[in-house]
Chains A and B, each alone.
Chain A
Amino acid sequence: MSALTSYLDDFAIAPVCHDIQINGETVGLHESGILWWPDQSVMVVSDMHLEKASSYARRGVMLPPYDTGITLERLAAAIETFDPACVISLGDSFHDPDGSDRLPPVYRAMLTSLQLNRDWIWVTGNHDPIAPVRLCGETVDEISIGPLTFRHEPLQKTDRDVIAGEICGHLHPAARVRRYGRSIRRSCFATDGYRLVMPAFGALTGGLNVNDPAFHLVFRRRQFSVFMLGNDRLYPFTASRLIED
C-alpha cells in the first residue's frame, strides 16, 4: 500500500469530532450523539432507554420492538469508531428497572461483546435506579474523572463554581431553528462551557426543547450554545438563534 492510500484510509476512518472546552478540558462532540474524551479514552453515551418499546407493550401500547436493536447497533458503530478504553452510560440506560432483565438474549450477547476489553460504567438514572442484572460493568450514582463529573440528572443550580465540569443527560435536549420559512428540530448537545447536557441516544427517545422552563434551572437564560445532530455533521447555534416549539 502506498503512503498516500494509507494516509487517505486513515483520513477516511478518523472520526471527526467537534472539539469544545468543558471546565478547561477538551472533549469532542460527535454527530452520533456521543461524547469522546481523547485524553482519557472515555466515550460517554446518555439516555439509551433500552427496552422502551417492550416497557410500553407491557401496558398494551405495542410500539415496534426494534428500538433496542437499533440503539445497540448505533452504539456498536460508535465504539468501533473510537475504540474507547472506558464507556460511561450516563443513566436511563434502560427504560425501566426491569429492562435489563427483559433484554432478549441476542441483545444481551451483543452488549456483552461490546464490553469486552474495556471498562464499562453504568451511571444510575431515574428510569434505572438500580444496577442492571446479568451484565458486566460497575454501577455508580456519579463519577468524577479529573475536572469532569458524570451524573445523570443536572444539579438544579447555575452557580459556576458548583456545576463546573458537570456532564449530564436526563433532559433530552432538542433545538429548533427556522430557515427559509421552514423550521427544523433536532436533538442536540447543550453547553455553556461549564456543564454539558448530552442528547438522548435511544431510537425511540424524543427531545425537550431547550427553551423549555426545565432548562432555566440548568443554564442562565440564553447563555448557552447547542450542537444539533445532523446526518454527517453537527450544527452549532447560540441559544438566541433558537425558537420555541
Chain B
Amino acid sequence: MDSAVLPLRFQDWFSSRGWSPRPHQLALVDHLGRGDSTLLIAPTGAGKTLAGFLPSLVELEARAKLPPDSPGSKGLHTLYISPLKALAVDIARNLEAPVSEMGLPVTLETRTGDTPSHKRQRQKRNPPDILLTTPEQIALLLSDPVSMEMFRTLKTVVLDELHALVTSKRGDLLALGLARLRQICPNLRTIGLSATVAEPDDLRAYLVAQDVCGERQLSKVVQIAGGAEPDIAILDTQERLPWSGHSSRHAIGEIYELIKQHNVSLIFVNTRSQAEVIFQELWRINDDTLPIALHHGSLDVGQRRKVEAAMASGVLRAVVATSSLDMGIDWGDIDLVINVGAPKGASRLAQRIGRANHRMDEPSKAILVPANRFEVLECQAALAASRRGEQDTPPLRKGALDVLAQHVLGLACAAPFDPVSVFDEIRSSETYRHLTWETFEKVLNFVATGGYALKTYEQYAKLRKGPDGLWRIAHPKIAQQYRLNVGTIVEAPMLKVRLVKSKADGRRNPIGRGGRVLGEIEEWFIEQLSQGDTFLFGGEILRFEGLRENEAFASRSKSETPMIPSYQGGKFPLSTYLAESVRAMLADPASWQHLPDQVRDWLQLQQTKSKLPPRDGLLVETFPRSRYNYMVCYPFEGRLAHQTLGMLLTKRLERLGAKPMGFVANDYALSIWGLGDLSLLFETGRIDLDALFEEDILGDDLDAWLAESSLLKRTFRNCAVIAGLIERRHPGKEKSGRQVTVSSDLIYDVLRSHEPDHILLQATWNDAAEGLLDISRLSELLARIKGRITHTRLTKVSPLAVPILLEIGKEPVYGEAIDDILAEAADDLILEAME
C-alpha cells in the first residue's frame, strides 16, 4: 500500500519532516475506510498513537470541506479512551502538534474527573471533533439523556492500552458502554491499540459486536513485528544470593554502579515496600548524590507529578517505581531498565523493558536483578520467553455481575428500556456473551428492589416497569445517586500520613495540627502499628505517633532500621506460563548451564539430598524438625492458589488425625507442619497422598471453610459498592460517625445466613475464585498431579525447602493454627540443609 491513500496535506506533512507513513498506519486508514474495526498490535515506540488517530484526522479533513450545516458536517467524530487520565492529557498534547502543523480544522479536548463542570456542560452542547476520556466518563455520559445525544454523530472509538483495560472490571464497564454506543451508532468502528498479547483474538472479539448464536466475530488485525531485539541480562551478582526475601539488598552496590554507567535508569519493583527499601538503600550509598527519585501509587499526587516532570525534563538519573509507571506515558530518554525481583510474567517484563529507549529500531537494554534463588530460576525462564517472543497475558475475563448491575441502573437513568432488547445488547459484547436470561433477570431485580426472595421492597423500588413494558427509574434522585457511584475502582480505606513532631522529643502534648501530608496508606496497615513503631514511607523512616480521625500522624525517625511493612497488595502471582518453564528447568539438569554457580550448586545439592520436583507431577517431602513434622510440596502455581490449597489440606489433615499446626505458602511451594508423624502416616498409607490431593477437596471442604472464614468480606464490600448496594465513602463524609454507617460485614453475614443464593454473593464468589482463591489454577494443578505424586522421606530439611521455611512468620498465616515457632533462627536452618 502506498501513501497515495492519504490526502495531499498529509503526504506533504510526512515528507516535510523527512518521514514516510509506516505501512501499519496506512493499513489502519484503509481498514477504517472500509468500515472495519481493527486491532493494532505494536511494541512501544512504533508510532501507535498517530496510527490510531490517522484515519480520524483524514476523515475530519474531508468533513471540513462539506458545506457548513449540511448533515454530518459537524459533531463528535472520535472518542479516545485510555485507562489513565494522565495518558489522555498526554496524548492530547502530543496530537496537537501534527494537527496544527498540517493546519487541520480539528478540535480536540479532554474530559476527565478533573475537567471543570462549566467545560463539561459546554462539551455536552458543543462537543469537540475528538474527545479524549476514560471509561468512567463514558458511563456517565451514557447515563445522561442530554449528553447521549452527542454520540449520534460518533464514527470511531480508539481504545488505548487495550491489553491493560480488558483485565479489570473497568474493561467490563467499557465493554457494556461500547455495546450501548453500537446501538446508538450502528456503523461505529473501533480501533484497539495494544501491546503484544498471548491471545490477540480475545481483543479482536472485544472490539466488535458478537452474534450470540453464530461464530465468534473478530475485528481486523494489524500486527507490527517487534523492533530490535531487547538486550536483556540477569545481574551476575558477586554477592551471596539470599535464600528468601524480596529486598535485593545484596545487589544494591551493583545496581548503583549500573545507574552511574547509564544516563537515565528506570528501576522497576513489584511492591511499594520494595520501592521504599531500594530507594532508601540507594541513597545510603549515594556518595555522588546522583538525582534518584521515588514513584509509587500512594505518594501524594503533587509529589508524583514533580517526579514525572523532572523525569521528562531529563534532570533525573534514576527513578525507583512500581507498576504506577508501567503504562504509556513518555518519560524521555531512558537507556536502562532494571527490574528488581521476579518479573512474574513474560509479557509484564516485555512491557516494562519497552519503557527503555522509546524508539523501536534501537534495542532496549534491561537488567534483571533476582532477589533470591528461586527468583533466579524465574528470571531465567522470563529471559528465555522474551528471546522466543512468547507471551503470557491473562485470558479475557468474564464480565462481572456487580458491574452489570451498575450499567443497568445507568441505562434506566438515560431512558426507559425494554429488558429483552437490553439483554441482547449486553450479550453482543464479548465479555458478557455468556450471560443467561435468568442471571440477567436477577441483576435487574437486584437493581430494582434489592433482589431478595422476601419481596418487601416493591413500594420502594428504584426501577419500575411501566404499562408499556419498559423499565424506568422511579425518581430523578436515583439518577443523582447513580452518578455519585459510577466506576469500578473501590479504594481500600486509606489514611493520610501527616508529618508531626515526635512524642519522643519529650513534649507533653506532641500532636498538634501537624505538618504536610506525605501521602496515603492503607487503614489495615496502620491498624497493626503501635505508637513508636517505625516504617518506611515516601523514602523516609517514620515513627508512628497516633491516629487522629482519618489521618495517621508520624514523625521523622532517627532509627536506622525500620520495621519493614509486609505489604500484601501489589504482589502479582507467578504466571502459569513462567511456572511451567521453571518446573521444566528444574527437572532438566542439562538446562542449568546458564544459571549462576550458587544456584547450580543449590540444585545439585537438592538432587543428592532429596529429589528434583518433576515437571508434571508433584514432589512431597517430609522431615522432622525441632518439635514438629514438616511436609513441603512444590506446585509452582502462585501464592494465592497455594494459600487456598494450604488451608484445605490443613483441614483434611486435621480430620485425618495428623494434628497440623500451621502452613505457609509462597509462589513456588507450600509447607504444612504439625505434631503428627507425617512421614510415617504417608509411608504406611494411613494417609493416602492421592486421596489427600483428590480434586473433591474443592467441593464440600472449600464450602465449609468459606462459610466460617471472613476472607471474602473485603471482596463482598467491593462488589456491594460497585453494584450500588452501599454508597461509596466520599472524602469528607467519613466523620459522620461509624455507628450510623452500615457495615458491609454485617450485610454479608445476614445474606450468607438468609439468602446464600443472592446475586451479590454470586458476584463475590466469582471475584474470589478468580483472584483471592485462584480456584481455576488450583483445580488445574490437582488434575495435573493426579497419580503423579512422589513422596520422599527425609531426615532433615532439604535445600529446596529452605526458602519456604524461612518465610514462616513473615507471611501472614491464616486459620486457627498456632504459630509459636516463629523464633527459630534462620541461620540454623541453612546450616542444617547444607550439612
Contacts and interface: CB of A to CB of B under 8 A. Distances in A.
A171 B740 CA distance: 10
Contact of B477 (A60, A69, A171, A245): A60
B747 A64 contact: yes
A205 B741 CA distance: 8
Contact of A65 (B454, B477, B530): B454
Contacts of B528: 178, 181, 183
Most chain B CB within 10 A, of A66, A205, A209, A245, is at A66
A244 B527 CA distance: 8
A64 B739 contact: no
Interface in B411-460: 446, 449-452, 454, 456-457, 460
Contact of B742 (A54, A60, A63, A180): A63
B365 interface: no
Interface string A190-206: 00000000001001111
Interface residues of B, number: 39
B454 A66 contact: yes
A203 B738 contact: no
Given A60-B477, A66-B754, A206 B462 contact: no
Contacts of B452: 62, 64-66
Contact of B739 (A58, A67, A70, A172): A172
Given A64-B750, A65-B454, A206 B743 contact: yes
A206 B527 CA distance: 18
Contacts of B316: none
B67 interface: no
B450 A63 contact: yes
Interface string B739-755: 11111001100110111
Contacts of A172: 739
Most chain B CB within 10 A, of A65, A183, A207, is at A65
B738 A60 contact: no
B742 A204 contact: yes
Interface string B720-763: 00000111000000000111111100110011011100100000
Given A206-B739, A208-B737, A245-B527, A62 B750 contact: no
Contact of A206 (B475, B738, B751): B738
Interface in B521-535: 527-528, 530
B725 A61 contact: yes
Interface string B149-182: 0000000000000000000000000000000000
Contacts, number: 96
B750 A67 contact: yes
Given A57-B460, A65-B454, A66-B454, A183 B738 contact: no
A207 B739 contact: yes
A171 B725 contact: no
Most chain B CB within 10 A, of A56, A63, A181, is at A63
Contact of B457 (A62, A178, A183, A243): A62
Contacts of A245: 527, 547, 738
A39 B456 CA distance: 42
B481 interface: yes
A171 B738 CA distance: 10
Interface string B457-472: 1001010000000000
Interface in A59-104: 60-67, 69-70, 104
B478 interface: yes
A63 B741 contact: no
Given A57-B457, A60-B462, A60-B481, A208 B739 contact: yes
B450 A204 contact: no
B726 A61 contact: yes
A62 B478 contact: no
A61 B451 CA distance: 12
A62 B449 contact: yes
A67 B530 CA distance: 36
A204 B750 contact: yes
Nearest to B726: A61
Contacts of A244: 546-547
Contacts of B454: 65-66
Contacts of B741: 206
A137 B228 CA distance: 85
B751 A58 contact: no
Contacts of B527: 183, 243, 245
Contacts of B456: 54, 57, 65, 104
Contacts of B481: 60
Contacts of B449: 62
A178 B449 CA distance: 40
A64 B743 contact: no
Contacts of B738: 206-209, 245
Contacts of B753: 70
A245 B743 CA distance: 14
A244 B523 CA distance: 11
A81 to B, nearest CB: 21
A32 to B, nearest CB: 16
B519 to A, nearest CB: 21
A105 to B, nearest CB: 12
Contacts of A64: 450, 452, 747, 750-751, 754-755, 758
Nearest to B546: A244
B41 to A, nearest CB: 44
Given A52-B742, A104-B456, 18 more contacts: A60-B460, A60-B462, A62-B450, A62-B462, A63-B725, A63-B747, A64-B758, A70-B753, A70-B754, A180-B819, A200-B739, A204-B750, A205-B739, A206-B738, A206-B742, A206-B743, A206-B746, A214-B737
Interface of B: 446, 449-452, 454, 456-457, 460, 462, 475, 477-478, 481, 527-528, 530, 546-547, 725-727, 737-743, 746-747, 750-751, 753-755, 758, 812, 819
**The 8 A-B residue pairs with the shortest CB-CB distance in the complex, in nearest-first order:** A62-B450, A208-B739, A172-B739, A66-B754, A206-B743, A57-B460, A65-B456, A57-B457
19 contacts: A54-B456, A56-B742, A62-B725, A63-B450, A63-B747, A64-B754, A64-B755, A66-B754, A69-B754, A70-B754, A181-B812, A204-B742, A204-B743, A206-B739, A206-B741, A207-B738, A209-B738, A244-B547, A245-B738
